[in-house]
Chains A and B, each alone.
Chain A
């Protein structure tokens, strides 16, 4: 089978978020980048599907030139080749992101056959727009499911599981289909050293799509002012235990 996995490179923010002077982006001068958690699991899922059924996994990202590193990470895990839609670093809204991805999918399918599955992260780690997968499916006329935590493929159908109260809801889709994956669907492997070496020589097809007018137009980012607290130190080391228990008792949780 042929599986496409769409990933987004996101800044690995940990502590407080700082913005660029124009407040349109996170200041990444001192930050690394990573594949978003949902997409990391989507990559693992794509690799497992190919291991089980044979075929080819392809990874795609729309992002700046630095996102090549995240494509290489996916290639190191067993994805065969990459498609990089290179941006100048400005964000693309969900509709223009979808349009660029759909065009790339059509071009790839014309050259090397249809994808049975397109996997996306359920929502991007940074912008969390909750719609690119749905829009890709709509544009290609393929069924889409979101929030998926279990996936298996047999006889041209995908069985997709979604967490629900008291159990899991099951969808069964005819292929080709689009699936939005949630972190927790699997435990992603770490790349091996030979995997990393092989990734360096795997093909990456780069192109620079034009960024259309934005209909969800980012104007400004704001870091909400949380109530800045300073923890009361109850003590150091195990000797603090009685003070902790007193607090637990006062909070009524003992």
Chain B
């Protein structure tokens, strides 16, 4: 039976759900074989650093052995140092596969560990089986295309696409926590976070908004977004946009929804003057309901949307705002 090592990341010292998903994925890959997890942490008690109990929390998801690597260097993100510990541990436990979360941090650490270990790495997988070669199914184009591939190596490095599997606790499962202090070479600390600049708080975050109102090329200009902003503010919504808008300079990239922008998951997504390109929709897959406003009844977005209004957004959007005001008796 295969041995699996899972890189478990934490967010502000707490267990993060994407890692629990990776752990669930890794446990299924193990098919009953031993599952190890690596958690890195700073000095006990340091701000934002995971405690022993946090590390133990991964046990409930099937890790039999949690390796807690404590080092002051881990108080900020140092991807090469994490990768060094991960690759070293993979060798020590003779892991057949190293699994981690398909986040920016997870992917960069796995890529670095695979490179050190001289092994191939498959990012953002949704399925895998071990063997020689290992087989993976991975996401391309933000998930609008899947790749089936063979992974020819001595050890499979795999990251798990977010939400490819649901995190599932295992009844009665708990982990032994082995805390240790790794040796970290200076060369592995060249790349590390040396400062944090706070961002000015700005309205509702696109990623977390319950309602998003977006405009696309059809909006036509920076000023064309005023009615979109007005509708958004009536609904307590965040404003989003397509890439056609950001590359035209009408709005900042922080508002872009899609494969190379923000992934949103609102209860309602209103998309005005957006054609529904696959890369745009890759960011809106999490939306529960979609309302498209488009002058083209045949636009691709019509087969992704739940509701549509056909016509000129410049007339329709203000009319909706007016109707909301009327309904609210204002």
Q: Do A and B bind each other?
A: yes
Residue positions of A touching B, CB distance < 8 A:
13-17, 26, 37-38, 93-95, 122-123, 125-131, 134-135, 138-139, 143-147, 161-162, 164-174, 182-184, 187-188, 213-224, 226, 228-242, 244-245, 247-249, 251-254
In the assembled complex, B196 has its CB within 8 A of some CB on chain A: yes
**Chain B residue contacts of A183, Cβ below 8 A:** 253, 256, 260-261
- Given A128-B123, A128-B139, A172-B194, list of 11 further CB < 8 A pairs? A26-B145, A126-B140, A127-B140, A170-B196, A171-B193, A217-B149, A222-B147, A224-B146, A235-B310, A237-B310, A241-B319
Bound Cα distance from A217 to B151, whole angstroms: 6
Main secondary structure of the interface of B (DSSP, over half): mixed
Structural contact, A237 and B320, CB atoms closer than 8 A: no
Structural contact, B122 and A171, CB atoms closer than 8 A: no
Which of A15, A16, A131, A173 has the most C-beta atoms of chain B within 10 angstroms of its own C-beta? A131
Contact with A along B305-316 (1 / 0, CB 8 A): 111111110011
Q: What is the chain B residue whose CB lies nearest that of A238?
A: B319
Bound Cα distance from A153 to B268, whole angstroms: 42
Q: What is the chain A residue whose CB lies nearest that of B139?
A: A128
Q: What is the chain B residue whose CB lies nearest that of A220?
A: B148
Structural contact, B268 and A251, CB atoms closer than 8 A: yes
Partner of B289, one of A219, A221, A251: A251
Given A174-B190, A219-B150, A130 contacting B123 (CB threshold 8 A): yes
Given A38-B260, A222-B148, A237-B311, A216 contacting B193 (CB threshold 8 A): no
**Chain B residue contacts of A145, Cβ below 8 A:** 191
Bound Cα distance from A254 to B329, whole angstroms: 13
Bound Cα distance from A174 to B190, whole angstroms: 8
Structural contact, B114 and A131, CB atoms closer than 8 A: yes
Structural contact, A234 and B191, CB atoms closer than 8 A: no
Structural contact, B303 and A222, CB atoms closer than 8 A: no
In the assembled complex, B322 has its CB within 8 A of some CB on chain A: yes
Name the interface residues of B265-292: CB closer than 8 Å to any CB of A.
Answer: 267-268, 275, 277-279, 289-292
Q: What is the chain B residue whose CB lies nearest that of A144?
A: B191
Q: What is the chain A residue whose CB lies nearest that of B305?
A: A231
Contact with A along B167-194 (1 / 0, CB 8 A): 0000000000000000000000011111
**Chain B residue contacts of A215, Cβ below 8 A:** 120, 151-153
**Chain A residue contacts of B12, Cβ below 8 A:** 165
Bound Cα distance from A128 to B142, whole angstroms: 8
**Chain A residue contacts of B210, Cβ below 8 A:** 253
Q: What is the chain A residue whose CB lies nearest that of B78?
A: A171
Partner of B309, one of A13, A161, A182, A240: A240
In angstroms, how far is the closest chain B Cβ from the Cβ of A254?
7
**Chain B residue contacts of A232, Cβ below 8 A:** 306-308
Contact with A along B124-149 (1 / 0, CB 8 A): 10000000010001011111111111
Q: What is the chain B residue whose CB lies nearest that of A98?
A: B115
In the assembled complex, B1 has its CB within 8 A of some CB on chain A: no
Which of B159, B195, B292 has the most C-beta atoms of chain A within 10 angstroms of its own C-beta? B195
Structural contact, B277 and A15, CB atoms closer than 8 A: yes
Bound Cα distance from A217 to B150, whole angstroms: 5
Partner of B196, one of A126, A168, A220: A168
Partner of A167, one of B112, B191, B198: B198
Bound Cα distance from A222 to B143, whole angstroms: 10
